[in-house]
DNA sequence: CTGAAAGCGCTTACAG
DNA sequence: CTGAAAGCGCTTACAG
């Protein structure tokens, strides 16, 4: 019924519980013979140390807290994929904390701290720098390492891993301009994401350099909302190229253009962000900026393990490479 | 620096720690005046009880373990969306346990048990009934409620919530047959998922009743693999209708058909499962069987809360309704 | 190399 | 209604 405890193991192996604890945590410190004896009993009893008790006694839970806003976003689940794989490799458990928009940031981070996680991966890119600061302070007060994962902050004290979204947009916009296109749009979201604001900044810089007018079009990520929105607006506004902050938005826009009788990419070029399945399934196939989201998650988790163990790290700000995948829409 | 403990609160409020504990857990049992005094100090100190210590003392962690195989699957992340929202509502924390294919099932479930979760949501539908039994036994030995979430099992003792995938496939196949189509395929995965086997069973039953030959085509969920696979096989095999176990597979198949010069749905009807964004973004828009995955997650989590609290439940096997969303591909 | 003992920060009967 | 004390299942100095 109830599971074996360390007392059961100690009793059956005829050693003290300290010894059992040692074979689990510092096996090299115990005599090989007694170690074998204890290991045998552990196996027989199917004993696994109670993680909660261990956490209380050692002040280490070997679990990391993941703070996010929406699991169903394609980028979030890819990020999680990378995080989970690396966490498993380093034997960390994962606890998910979702921050609903209305909830207080301070309350959210305090909850995570109260759960005694050993480290925090912060994936919520909907916060401004003031709110990010609250998170930073609470984490550092509690002495818990924190890594921003695919979240942008210029605070040099905040560890982070992401790609250079600004440069990605800048370069891509430049290419579009070089093709002679002028009515270029950046299709962004109504919700302000720190990551998307970087994409916008790069676009705006390139447009400005070319003496062109920046046009950031904000809409919903929801197809049933953005489709009519595109249909209406672009009925009267010229456009010959667009970069969307997500593949799905790019495809939605592309479909609207095609329905209006435009040719892609001849009349209008369309580029998406992330390189999801949407891009491959679209017709024409979507050209997009490949953001290695899985890798960002994995690298962030790896960085966090180092921070938690107090290992030296080269840098606290990691920028992963991105590339443009040219397909048929540009 | 380090956070306030219950001792700090008790000291500053000039009461015993038992009293502080009570205002947190059984506020009605403490005098209003002292309760107010304690609450005030709690607020001042920003005190939050250490969840680990509480877990050890109370034998309740208010966390549920989610066992899954792959977060990046669209169905998994929607399931998680529903789970997270309901868990939050009932103040449960969520811990993710990923089961890599090669890992021992027994080891996986023991790990979850050792983490002292109060309940388990099992989302991994890649296991056979023997393996499912191991999970069931370990959970019940440890007295931890378990709910299969979008996983099929005919064991009447296993709580589960899903839709009737068999009927969904059966009905849809019937409709296709009623249109006079005969060369009907079920596009499934190489990996055996319990959910997909139900989809196959319903299809096969309908085909058998109509005296038609069942043709289950197994391929990868990876586009770069299934696309050439479809191209080759359907170059020489006739097909006038197909139901795919996932939207993305349906769209991939549809694209191959269109590239071969077929008309959808005139020459070949295509139907997907789940009703994801892929379906809406496809051209023509994909007709599909809507599986309310978010709801399945939410309902499973709700059922689990009842089980954890020992509340009475009407049934331990919940079947949610599904429907066919008719768009352009059938 | 091994054991006895204190302690992690709470909860929960048990008294009063 | 409130407090003193035991206990949850471990880890970790400290002795020996």
Domain ranges of chain A: 6-58, 63-163+294-322, 165-290
Determine contact: B142 vs chain A, CB below 8 A.
yes
DSSP state at residue B233: H
Write down the CATH number for the domain with range A6-58.
1.10.260.40
Instruction: Express each pLDDT in A13-41 by its tens digit.
Output: 999 999 999 999 999 888 889 999 999 99
Distances (CA, A) of A16 to A34, A132, A134: 11, 48, 46
Residue B164 and residue B161: Cα distance in Å, rounded?
10
Q: Produce one character per residue of A253-266: b if its CB has 16 or more CB atoms within 10 Å, e if not.
A: bbbbbbeeebebbe
Is the CB of residue A17 inside 7 Å of nucleic acid strand C? yes
Percent of chain B with pLDDT over 70: 98
What does R_g of chain B's alpha carbons equal in angstroms? 25
Distance from the Cα of B138 to chain A's closest Cα (Å) equals 9
Q: Do B95 and A63 touch (CB under 8 A)?
A: yes
Distances (CA, A) of B68 to A98, A201, B46, B101: 18, 38, 36, 10
Q: Are both B6-58 and B165-290 of the same fold?
A: no
Q: What is the pTM of this model?
A: 0.93
Q: What is the predicted pLDDT for the residue at A242?
A: 98
Average of per-residue pLDDT across A267-280: 95
Q: Produce one character per residue of A11-25: b if its CB has 16 or more CB atoms within 10 Å, e if not.
A: ebbebeeebbbbbbe
Domain A165-290: which topology? Answer: Rossmann fold (3.40.50)
Determine contact: A57 vs chain B, CB below 8 A.
no
Is the model's pLDDT at B81 over the cut of 70? yes
Distances (CA, A) of B8 to A60, B2, B14, B55: 22, 12, 10, 20
Domain A63-163+294-322 architecture: 3-Layer(aba) Sandwich (3.40)
Average of per-residue pLDDT across B265-278: 95
Q: Do A71 and B81 touch (CB under 8 A)?
A: yes
Q: What is the predicted pLDDT for the residue at A1?
A: 37
Give chain B positions within 8 Å (CB) of A296: none
Residues in CB range of A276: below 8 A, 6 or more apart: A74, A247, A248
> What nucleotide is nearest A57 when CA is compared to C1'?
C8
Chain B's closest residue to A84, CA to CA, is: B98
Most distant CA pair in chain B: distance in Å? 85
Classify residue B285 as exposed, middle or buried by CB count within 10 Å of its CB (0-12, 13-18, 19+). middle
pLDDT confidence tier of residue B101, bands split at 50, 70 and 90: low
Average of per-residue pLDDT across B131-156: 94
């Amino acid at each position: 019924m109830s599971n074996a405890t360390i007392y059961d193991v100690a009793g059956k192996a005829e050693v003290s519980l300290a010894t059992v604890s040692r074979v689990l945590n510092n096996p090299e410190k115990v005599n090989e013979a007694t170690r074998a004896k204890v290991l045998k009993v552990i196996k027989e009893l199917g004993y696994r140390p109670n993680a909660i008790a261990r956490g209380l006694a050692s002040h280490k839970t070997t679990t990391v807290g993941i703070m996010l806003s929406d699991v169903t976003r394609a980028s979030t689940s890819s990020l999680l994929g990378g995080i989970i794989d690396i966490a498993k490799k380093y034997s960390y458990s994962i606890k998910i904390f979702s921050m609903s928009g209305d909830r207080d940031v301070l309350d959210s981070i305090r909850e995570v701290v109260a759960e005694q996680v050993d480290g925090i991966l912060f994936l919520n890119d909907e916060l401004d720098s003031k709110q990010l600061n609250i998170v930073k302070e609470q984490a550092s007060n509690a002495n818990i390492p924190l890594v921003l994962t695919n979240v942008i902050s210029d605070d040099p004290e905040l560890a982070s891993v992401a790609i250079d979204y600004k440069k990605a947009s800048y370069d891509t916009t430049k290419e579009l301009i070089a093709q002679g296109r002028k009515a270029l749009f950046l299709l962004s979201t109504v919700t302000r994401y720190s990551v998307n604001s970087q994409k916008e900044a790069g676009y705006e810089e390139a447009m400005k350099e070319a003496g062109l007018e920046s046009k950031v079009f904000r809409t919903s990520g929801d197809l049933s909302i953005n489709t009519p929105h595109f249909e209406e607006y672009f009925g009267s506004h010229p456009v010959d190229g667009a970069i969307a902050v997500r593949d799905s938005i790019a495809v939605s826009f592309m479909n609207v253009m095609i329905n209006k009788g435009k040719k892609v990419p001849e009349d209008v070029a369309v580029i998406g962000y992330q390189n999801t399945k949407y891009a491959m399934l679209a017709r024409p196939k979507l050209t997009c900026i490949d953001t290695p989201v899985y890798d960002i998650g994995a690298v962030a988790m790896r960085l966090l393990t180092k921070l938690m163990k107090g290992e030296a790290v080269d840098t606290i700000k990691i920028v992963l490479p991105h590339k443009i995948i040219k397909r048929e829409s540009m």
